[in-house]
Structure 1
Amino acid sequence: MSQTVIPLQFEQYLQEKINAGYGPDMNEMIFAYIPGLDLAAPIDRTTGLPDPSTWVHKQSVDQVGKVGESALAYSVVIPSSVAEFTFNAIYLHDKNVVNSCGVIVHKISETKEDGMSSTKSLLQAYSGAAELTGITVDAETWQIDYQARLNGIDDDHRLGCLDSYGEAAVIDGFKVSKQTVQNKYLITAGTAYVGGLRAVTEDDIVQTITNKPSDIYIDVYRAGSALSSYINNVSIFTSQTAESNYIDAGGNKHYVEKIATINADGSVTDKTTLKTGALERADNAATEDDINNEETNLKHVKLNQFWNGIEKKIAESALFSQGLPWDKNRIYKTGEICTIEQNGEIQIMQMYAGPNLTCVNKDPAILTNRHEQWQDATAPFWWIPYTGTEVGMPFWWLSTAPPETAIMELNVNLPTAVYWRLARKYPELVNGNFINTGEIRGEFLRVLDQGRGVDVNRRVGSWQDHQFQKHKHDIHGESGGANNIVAFQDTNNDSGITYPYSNVESRGDSYIHVGNPNTGSYGEETRPRNVARAMAITI
Structure 2
Amino acid sequence: MSASITLAGESQIALKQSQQKPLIVSRFIFANVPGLDPTEPLDRAAGKPAAEQIVHVYTIPEKNAGFVNPNQVVYSAQLGSDVGDWDFNWVGLEDADGILFAASSVPLQQKRRNIPPEQIGNNVTRNFLVAFDGAMQLTGVKIDACTWQHDFTVRLAGIDERERLGNRNLYGRACFFSDSLTFEKTDTGYQISAGTAYIEGIRLEIPGPEPVPGVIPVGKVWLDVCLERQLNDRVAAWKVVFGEQADYIDAAGVRHYCVPIADIVSSTVIEDLRDAEPVGGALIRYLASRTGDYPLLRARATTKADVGLGNLPNAISDDPATNSSEIVASTAALNKLQTQVGDSMTGMVAAFAMNSAPAGWLACNGAAISRTAFAGLFARIATHYGAGDGSTTFNLPDMRGLFPRGWDDGRGLDPGRAFGAYQDMMIHSHAHSASAAAVGDHLHSAWTDAQGNHNHSAWTDAQGNHDHGFRIVDNGAGINVGYPAGGSVFTELEIPGGKNADGRPMRTDYQGNHAHNVGIGAAGNHAHNVGVGGAGNHTHGITVAAAGGTETRPRNLALFYCIKY
TM-score by length of 2: 0.27
Q: Which has the higher contact order (CA 8 A, sep 6+)?
A: 2
Q: Whose Rg is larger?
A: 2
TM-score by length of 1: 0.28
